[in-house]
Amino acid sequence: MRFLNNGRVFWNLTKNSMNYQSGNAIVRLLPASYSNKSSDPPAEPREKQNLLTYHVLPLKETLDKFTATVEPLLSPAEFEQQKKINEEFLCTEGGKLQKLLEAVGAKEKNWLAHRWLNAAYLQYRDPVTVYVSPGMTFPRQEFKDINAFLDYTSKVVYGLGEFNDMVKCGKIPVVKMGKNELDNSQFGKVFGTCRIPKPVTDEIVYNPRSDYVVVIYKNHFYKLRIYNNQGLLLSAVCLREQLQNILQKETKHGVPYGILTTDNRDNWATAYEQLCKQSGNKESFATIQGALFTVSLDECTKLPKGEETNQLILSLIHGGGSKVNSGNRWMDKTIQLVVNPNGNVGFTYEHSPAEGQPIAMMMDYVVKKMKEDPNFGKIGASKVDEEAKKLQLCAPDDSINKSLATATTNIDKLVEKLQIKVLKFEGYGKGFIKKQRLGPDSFVQMALQLAFYRMHNEPAAQYESAHLRIFEGGRTETIRSCSNESLKFCKTMVNSSATAQDKADALRAAVTSHQAYTRLALQGRGVDRHLLGLKLMALENSQPIPKFYSSPGFVKSASFRMSTSQVATLYDAFMGYGPAVDNGYACCYNPRENDIILAISNWRFSVTDHLKYAQTLESSFCMMKEVLEQATPPPAAPAKSKL
């Protein structure tokens, strides 16, 4: 995702783009008036999680790792020069900034969390559409008629309500990584949450007591309570009736105010401020912002044969443009459930408060319940206390028409620019990889490196997300997947003189190297967040940005031409998003037992080619399997003692 790793975003931050005034809150709770619940569901006793404090690493340790990660991307002369730059940084500005960061780290449980929220998300000015918000698919559906469409939608809404109840009651299982618990706080930040456009720095609002959703149909907005006055979740039958009533009420399209949320944040902030001047709009906005989530009932669009899966993820990422369903969205909401009569179903999710895995877990929960429980959705309140209520939005003056025209032009350009190919590789899955005693994630990462090298004849700086959930409020660290070992692997694979054994050995060495870096990243011992923290110290203390941040090694290694992540699900589903840089690709993948689903994106009119890359990646997977089967396998690891 572009906002996470594009050097032109993080590393070009300036003092003017930062906002650290203690009086300027960027996160707030909506008042309890935005809920009709008489009480929250009874919560089971919950113990405070035993989570680690996010540390500040020794600077030399970080720079030593950084030096190793840039070597495959530089010429020998550039690398020697970079080592001198690193040493100078360590002994001069870097050391001073390190002391400032250590002082901050000594006072805060997680010095990174709120700074990351600001720098990576709230101060990012490009649109959340494509650049920030991924799409998360459900398995494709086949709705025979509108009744099937409504039945399915109501059950998904019911399932999300059940999941919300689990979150509120503390029933999401606490998982451990080794001896350390993983922070579950992200689950509590996805329901009732919304981003609000502001000049320079956006705001996030939370409404943990919310008891309703907002349904969007033909650009009209309806508040639909999904709990009754006693706090009980409505049955799917009740929800279906309400959805059907909304469909029957609206025959004409409303003004597509939702398309304003797809524009860059400054444009949207200006329009938002103008709209709030009109009586009633501010209250309607607050209702949308306080909803548990939105439900976009899209108009049916035809799917070109062979493009069904590609169009599915694109519809979730951007809605298809102004003439399709981009106006039938509210891109600021953390969770948007999107359902189309053509069978496209999934989430659009605004990334600021949480990572992708909680969203995937939510999807898995709902799909599993719908598949396995014949009574799913039948248990619940059978009486609606309040009919769905239409929200009123209107323009105060002609300036909004100009904003709508600008947003329409911009989203259509963005839709035209983004290209995606969904590759379902069925040659094998993680089952085969594990039989080779290799890690599936690291194996896929090396396949991505190999495909890029075969296409472009050079290695790519490659970003992969690693969670930091062993820390309180932890988000992500970067796994730098390009290494000396990965480059040697790529060169060996394309060397006609190399034997299958040579190639298999190089593959195993590259996988081992990636696994080692992954372990460090998961422990908060990566490179990128520490270096970001040092730069933020310079900005917060009005100090000049060190030249280190404009050095060839830093710029090349932080301009991630491959932006990747694994988001695993149980079902035939996947996540997709846009590339980080103009000359790069994004690839989100779901490795399953017998196949691997990958969503590969690039920008049109770039040096990249998403279709060719997908073909090259598929053949790279086949090459890797072939060399492993031809080579002598390594000796089996000794059995672990039970003593």
Q: Is the dihedral of CA 283, 292, 340, 4 positive or negative?
A: positive
In 110-158, where do the E strands start and end?
135-137
Report whether 335 contacts 190 (CB < 8 A): yes
Q: How far is CA 109 from the centre of its chain?
A: 24
CA distances from 454 to 194, 326, 458, 492, 576 (A): 42, 37, 8, 11, 23
Q: Which residues are catalytic?
A: 351
Report whether 548 contacts 523 (CB < 8 A): no
- Going by the DSSP 8-state scheme, the letter that residue 524 receives in this structure is T
In 542-584, where do the E strands start and end?
562-566, 575-576
- Going by the DSSP 8-state scheme, the letter that residue 129 receives in this structure is B
In 211-360, where do the E strands start and end?
212-217, 220-225, 294-297, 335-339, 345-349
Going across the sheet that includes 212-217, the strands are 389-390, 220-225, 212-217, 294-297, 335-339, 345-349, 135-137, 575-576
CA distances from 53 to 112, 177, 468, 520, 532 (A): 11, 15, 11, 16, 18
Which candidate, 349, 298, 352, 301, places its Cα nearest to that of 327? 298
SS3 content of the chain, % helix, strand, coil (to 5): 45, 15, 40
Q: Angle CA(603)–CA(548)–CA(19) in degrees, nearest 5?
A: 70
The three-state secondary structure class of 615 is helix
Report whether 553 contacts 76 (CB < 8 A): no
Going across the sheet that includes 585-591, the strands are 418-425, 596-603, 585-591, 562-566, 462-467, 476-480
Radius of gyration for the alpha carbons in the chain, expressed in angstroms and rounded: 25
Q: Is the dihedral of CA 37, 41, 42, 43 positive or negative?
A: negative
Q: Are strands 193-196 and 462-467 parallel, antiparallel or unpaired?
A: unpaired
Taken as a whole, the chain contains a residue count of 643
Bridge partners (DSSP) listed for residue 590:
597
Q: How far is CA 628 from the centre of its chain?
A: 33
Report whether 527 contacts 521 (CB < 8 A): no
Report whether 202 contacts 26 (CB < 8 A): yes
CA–CA gap between residue 522 and residue 470 (Å, rounded):
8
Report whether 170 contacts 46 (CB < 8 A): yes
Which candidate, 569, 580, 626, 625, places its Cα nearest to that of 603? 580
Report whether 335 contacts 196 (CB < 8 A): no
Instruction: Name 621's Cβ contacts closer than 8 Å, sequence gap at least 6.
Output: 425, 427, 428, 447, 596
What six digits make up the tokens of 443?
């194996």
